[in-house]
Amino acid sequence: MRTIGGYFELELREGKEYHNGAVCLNTGRNAFEYLLKAKGFKKVFLPYYTCDVMLQPIKRQGVEYKFYHLDKNLVPILGEKKFHNDEVIIYNNYFGLFDKVIRIMAERYKRNIVIDNSQAFYALPLSGIDTFYSPRKFFGVPDGAYLYTENKLDSIIERDRSAERIGHLIYRIDSCAEDGFLVFQKNEKSLSGSGIKSMSLLTKRLLQNIDYQKCAEVRKENFNFLHSELVTINHFDIDLANDSVPMVYPLLTDKCGLRDFLISKNIYVATYWDSVRKYINHKSYEYKLVTNLVPLPIDQRYDTKTMELIVKAVLSYV
């Protein structure tokens, strides 16, 4: 029986989550590990251009793995290889812009593919295709993941608890991003050591409070504005489908130092993914993406005036 009376908790409504019907877990990498255990894959093919945390579940499960390259349209270079039933390809929906490629990949490889939609929260899963999501890439939640699969584990999964991981989100509201950054890094580190768990009640309630339609509209508006202003200097070929909701605006130029310049102007942009340099030749396309692609923020916190500031900063440097 739950406690009656006493102090109040956060006032959070019980709305609807965007991914109703999915398996609710604690992290994207653990969603993939869930699949490795449930489907018994023996070998994984994953892109060089991906986050190295994806190696954690692969190594924990003792699964063989091999990297593959991408062409300049971020389409996998796999040749005519035929895959066995116990082999799987991971493909990332990069920046939330590659729904069309995923449809082609799903038709070609069917049950031998897993879609990593960590950067494409709004992309709905294709029938029969294992797909997972990481909502904290799009919204202010401390952890959480959604997984669509027909194969379920029989074992009972412990529920995660997120109260100790919410500090950086509070700092961002009550103080500033800089004050909460060390807390954010601690949170990220704690997720690396967590096993497969069900989504925490706190994360679930937070995800029930989001206006998903409004967030999607703002993201697309901001993305389209940046693209209209920066398309002439962007070397990355962008094709935004009408139903796609991007995570960021990927700006690729030959101008080194743009990332550091923007950060010096308090425009924080990430690197996807610095660890890739350990695995690939410096002349490869993936190396160029890691070094020169700058993911500009376009999320629901910002309006056109903010986008104008970003454009002004970019053009002043480029």
The pLDDT tens digits of the residues spanning 108-130 come to: 998 899 999 999 999 999 999 99
Tokens of 182: 């060390």
Percent of the chain with pLDDT over 90: 80
Listed residue (168, 159, 203, 160) closest to 186, CA to CA: 168
Task: Please check the confidence at residue 148 and state whether its pLDDT lies above 90.
Answer: yes
| pLDDT on residue 129 | 96
Is 221 exposed, middle or buried, given 0-12, 13-18 or 19+ CB atoms closer than 10 A?
middle
Residue 189 has pLDDT above 80, yes or no: yes
Q: What phi and psi, each to the nearest 5 degrees, are found at residue 316? A: -65, -25
- Scored b (16 or more CB within 10 A) or e, 289-309 reads bbebbbbbbbbbebeeeebee
Predicted confidence band at 1 (pLDDT cuts at 50, 70, 90)? Answer: low
pLDDT at position 138: 98
What mean pLDDT value characterizes the chain? 94
Count of CB atoms within 10 A of residue 23's CB?
Answer: 20
pLDDT band at 279 (very low <50, low <70, confident <90, very high): confident
Q: Residue 178's pLDDT is what?
A: 87
| Structure confidence at residue 200 (pLDDT) | 97
Strand pairing category for 87-92 and 113-116: parallel
Domain boundaries, the chain: 23-159+197-207, 212-317
Say yes or no to pLDDT of 9 above 90.
no
Please state the rounded mean pLDDT for residues 88-108: 95
- Digit-coded pLDDT (tens) for 219-257: 999 999 999 999 999 999 998 777 899 999 999 999 889
- What's the average model confidence in pLDDT over 63-72? 96
The CATH architecture of the domain made up of 212-317 is Alpha-Beta Complex (3.90)
Q: What is the mean pLDDT of residues 189-209?
A: 92
Whole-number percent of the chain with pLDDT over 70: 100
The average pLDDT across 26-52 equals 96
Taking residues 68-80, what's their average pLDDT?
Answer: 92
Residue ranges of the alpha helices (H) in 88-166?
99-109
Of 28-42, 59-73, 85-99, 269-283, the poorest mean pLDDT is in: 269-283
CATH assignment of 23-159+197-207, among 3.90.1150.10, 3.40.640.10, 1.20.120.1200, 3.90.550.10: 3.40.640.10
pLDDT of residue 311 exceeding 80:
yes
Q: Is the confidence at residue 64, as pLDDT, over 90?
A: yes
Provide the pLDDT for residue 119. Answer: 98
